[in-house]
Structure 1
Amino acid sequence: MTGSVWRIPGMRALLVASALGFAGYALLLPTAPLWARHGGADEGGAGLVNAILMLATVLVQTTVPWALRTIGWRATMVTGAVLLGAPSLLFVMSDALWAVLAVSALRGAGFAVVTVCGSSAVAHLVPESHRGRAIGIYGLSIAVPQFLLIPSSAWIAENIDFRVIFLLGFLPVLAVPFAAAIGGRIDRAPQDDAPRVPVTMNALAAVLVPALVLTAIAAPAGAIISFAPQFGFGGATVLVALLILTGVTAFARWLAGGYADRYGPHRFIAPLLVAGALGLVASAFAILWGSAPLVWGGMVLVGIAYGGIQNLTLVESFGSVPQRLRELASTSWNIGFDTGTGLGSLVVGFIAAGTSFTVGLGVTAAVCVVTAACYLGRLRGLKKRAVPYPA
C-alpha cells in the first residue's frame, strides 16, 4: 500500500519541494531567535521572532485558496518557495530586533504558501482510501529536514557562523522547478464541473475542531524548538533533546497514517494529548532539577503526541468536509499548526521572562489536558445524538 502511494504521479515532486521548503524553515526556527538575542533582545523579544513569523504565515494562509483560484497552482507555489528562501540572506544585514522581525514576516508569507499548498496537494493527488498513508509520507518529507536541521542549526550558528545558516536558508528557492512541476500538474488536471460547495457554518465548525486540537500541541512544541538552547542545559544535552523530539515526531507522524486509514483518527487524539501533557510536565521538572535524562524522556512523549496529532488532525480535517472544500480543510489545519507554533513561542517566552521556562511548559501541559477533555466531551455528545463522526 505504501509503495503505491510513492508511485502516484506528482507525489515525488511534491515530497522534494516540501523537503527543501521545510529545510529552510527548520534551519532558522531556532536560529533567528538566537540572532535576535545576539543583537540584545531579551527572552520576550526573542519569542516575538517566531511569533511574527507565524502571524504572517497565518494571515497569508487565509489568502492562499484565493491565489490558487486566481493565478493558479504553478505561480502560487513558485512564489511561495522564493518568498520563504530568498529573504534568509537579508538576516546578515542586521541583528537588530526590528530587522529580524521584518525578515521573519516576509519569510512567513512564503511559508504560508508552502504549507497550504503542500497539504492540499496531497488531497488533490491521492484517493481518500490511501490518504492517511500519503499524509504520513508527506509528513516524513517535512519532518526529516527538521530532524536533521533544527538540532544542528543553533550549534552551527553559535560555534561556526550565523552566516552559514543564513546561506543555507536559501534552500527553498531550489524547490522552484519541483514546485512548478507539481503546480502545473494540478493546473492541468480535469476540473470538477459540479457547482461550488458553499462554505457553511457546519463546514467551518468541522474543520475548526482538529485545528484547535493541533494548536494545543503545536504551541509547546514550538516553544521547545524556539527556546531549548536557553533551557540551561549544555549544548550536547540540547542537541540530543531536539534530535529526540524531531526524530520521534517524524516517526510518529508516519506511523499514525496507517492507523488513521484503518481505524479512523478520532479515537487516538485525546490519549495523545494526555501523553504530550505528561511529557511537558517531565520536561518542566527536568529544567527545574537540571536533569538531562528526564528532559530526554519528556521529549519522547511530546514527540509522539506532536507527530501523531499532526497526521490524525489533518486526516480528520479532510474527512470532515466535501472534496471541493479541501483547500478550506488544508488552510484551517495549517492555521491551527502555525498559530500554535507562534503562540507557544510568544506566550512561553513572556512567561519565562517573568517567571521561568518551567512555569511556561506547565501552562502548556494544562492546555493539552483541557483540550483532551473537551475533545472527549464532543465525541460523547456526537455519540449520544447518533451523529456519525468523520472517518
Structure 2
Amino acid sequence: MGRTSVLRVPGMPALVAVSLTGFSGYAALLATAPAWAVHGGASEAGAGLVNGVLLAATVLTQMCVPALLRAFGTAPVLVVSMFLMGVPAAAYAFSDALVPVLALSAVRGAGFGIITVVGSTVVAHLVEPARRGEAVGVYGLAVAAPMIVLLSAGVAVAESAGYGWVFAVASLPLLGVPWAWSLGRRVDATPTSASHEGSTGSTSHGAVRLVLRPTAVLFAVTMAGGATMTFAPQLGIGGGWAAAALFAMSLTSALSRWRAGLLADRHGPERFIAPLLVLTAVGLLLCVAAIIRDSGWLLVLAALVLGPPYGALQNLTLLIAFARVPARDLPTASAAWNLGFDAGTATGSVVVGALAAAFAFGPAFAVMVVVVLAALLLAPRRPARVPA
C-alpha cells in the first residue's frame, strides 16, 4: 500500500513556492549581474567582485539567522528575505555603475543567506523524521530547478531581449511573499519552532560541534563540485563540450538530490556517504583524464559521474546534521550546513584557480581527488544519538 506524497503535508506546497520564487531571484542574476556591471564599464576584476560581495553577505547573514529566528520568529524573517532579494533585483535597472551594483548585490546576499537557512530548516519542522529525506529531496529539487533553467538562460535573454527582462524575472521573490508569510506562520505554530525555544549561545556552539563531520564531508564535495562548475569552460576542451558537461552535472545532481532522500528514509543516510565519496573521486579522475587527453566526451562522462554524488551528498549530509541535534538547534545545524556548502564552493574555486595558475588544471583537479578521499576519514558511518 503506497503512502501519500510528501507534497500533501501541510506547508510543503508553500515551501516549494517560496523556494522556486526565491531561488529564481538568485539564479537569474548569478551570471547576469556581473555582465551588467561590465555593461556599465567595470573591469573583469570589478565584475568578479559582484558575486564575491553577494556570497560574502550571504555567509555573514547565515551566521545570524538562528538568532534572528529566536528573536522575531520565522514569518517576519522569511518575508523580509523575499523583499531583500526581490526589490534590489528590480533596482538594478536604475544603474549599471559598479558601486550601486555591488551595494544591491550585498542586499540580495543578505536575503539569500536568510532563505537558504530557513528553507532547509523548515523541512525539519513540517515533516516527521521518518519522511524527512523525501521532503529534503523535494525541497532540493525546488531549489535546483531555477538553477538549471535560469543560470544559463539569464545571459541569453539579456543579450537577445535586454537586461530589463532578466531583472523582472529576478524580482520573482516578491511574488513569493504571501507564501512566505503563510509558511512562516505555520512553522511558528509548531512546538519545535525556534521562536518557542530559549536556546542559548552555548547550546548553538554545541550544535555546531555535533554537525562538524557531515559539514566537513559537504565542504570537501562542494570544493570539488564548485571547482568543476567554475572552470569547465576554461579547460580548453571547447565551449560546446563544457556547456554539455555543465548541463549534465546540473541535471543529474538535481535528480539525485531529489531521489536520495527516499533511500535515506528506508536505509539511513550514513551507509551511502563513503561509496558516494569514492564515486566523486572517480568522477574527478575522469575529469583529469579529459584534461590530459583534451577530450570533450570524457569531460561529459566525468560530469555524469560527478553529478549524482554531488547532489545526493547534499541531501544526505543535511539529513545527518538534522539527526544529530535536538529540535531547538535545527536552525543552527542548517546554518552550519549552508556555511559548509558556500565556503566549500568558494574555496574549491580559489584553490583550483591558484593551483592551475601555478601548475596546470590537471594537477589542480588531482589535488581535489586527494581532498575527497581524505573526507572518507570523517564520513559518518552510524547514526548518532540525538542529545536530550
Deviation (angstroms), 1:126: 0.5
Tell me whether 15-24 or 274-283 shows the greater mean CA deviation. 274-283
Provide closer, same or farther for how the CA distance between residues 67 and 194 of structure 1 changes in structure 2, counting only shifts above 3 A: closer
RMSD: 2.9
Deviation (angstroms), 1:358: 4.1
**Contact 2:224–2:372 (Cα < 8 Å) also in 1:** no
CA distance in 1, matches of 2:152, 2:262: 28
**Contact 1:143–1:250 (Cα < 8 Å) also in 2:** yes
**Contact 1:55–1:342 (Cα < 8 Å) also in 2:** no
**Contact 1:50–1:345 (Cα < 8 Å) also in 2:** no
**Contact 1:72–1:187 (Cα < 8 Å) also in 2:** yes
1:208-253 C-alpha deviation (Å, 9 max, x unpaired): 2111211111223233434444444554333322221111011111
Tell me whether 119-128 or 324-333 shows the greater mean CA deviation. 324-333
Provide closer, same or farther for how the CA distance between residues 156 and 20 of structure 1 changes in structure 2, counting only shifts above 3 A: same
CA distance in 1, matches of 2:192, 2:206: 25
Deviation (angstroms), 1:313: 0.4
Tell me whether 267-276 or 23-32 shows the greater mean CA deviation. 23-32
**Contact 2:70–2:198 (Cα < 8 Å) also in 1:** no
Provide closer, same or farther for how the CA distance between residues 99 and 289 of structure 1 changes in structure 2, counting only shifts above 3 A: farther
Deviation (angstroms), 1:99: 5.3
TM-score normalised according to structure 2 size: 0.86
Structure 1: any 5+ residue segments left out of the alignment?
A: none
Asked if residue 366 in structure 1 is aligned to residue 367 in structure 2, the reply is no
Tell me whether 218-227 or 115-124 shows the greater mean CA deviation. 218-227
In structure 2, what is the equivalent of residue 389 of structure 1? 384
Deviation (angstroms), 1:174: 1.8
In structure 1, what is the equivalent of residue 79 of structure 2? 78
CA distance in 1, matches of 2:385, 2:264: 11
Percent identity between matched residues is: 42
In structure 1, what is the equivalent of residue 254 of structure 2? 250
CA distance in 2, matches of 1:339, 1:4: 34
Letter in 2 for 1:375: L
Matches within 5 A, 1:174-185: 174-185=175-186
**Contact 1:52–1:342 (Cα < 8 Å) also in 2:** no
Deviation (angstroms), 1:136: 0.8
CA distance in 2, matches of 1:147, 1:167: 18
CA distance in 1, matches of 2:239, 2:321: 38
In structure 2, what is the equivalent of residue 319 of structure 1? 323
Asked if residue 20 in structure 1 is aligned to residue 15 in structure 2, the reply is no
**Contact 1:50–1:346 (Cα < 8 Å) also in 2:** no
**Contact 1:151–1:238 (Cα < 8 Å) also in 2:** no
Matches within 5 A, 1:189-338: 189-190=190-191, 196=199, 199=203, 202-338=206-342
Provide closer, same or farther for how the CA distance between residues 3 and 344 of structure 1 changes in structure 2, counting only shifts above 3 A: farther
CA distance in 2, matches of 1:292, 1:153: 25
1:263-321 C-alpha deviation (Å, 9 max, x unpaired): 21112112212222222232344345442211111111221111110110011001001
In structure 2, what is the equivalent of residue 343 of structure 1? 347
CA distance in 2, matches of 1:366, 1:102: 38
CA distance in 2, matches of 1:35, 1:357: 29
Provide closer, same or farther for how the CA distance between residues 214 and 245 of structure 1 changes in structure 2, counting only shifts above 3 A: same
Provide closer, same or farther for how the CA distance between residues 117 and 83 of structure 1 changes in structure 2, counting only shifts above 3 A: same
**Contact 2:28–2:166 (Cα < 8 Å) also in 1:** yes
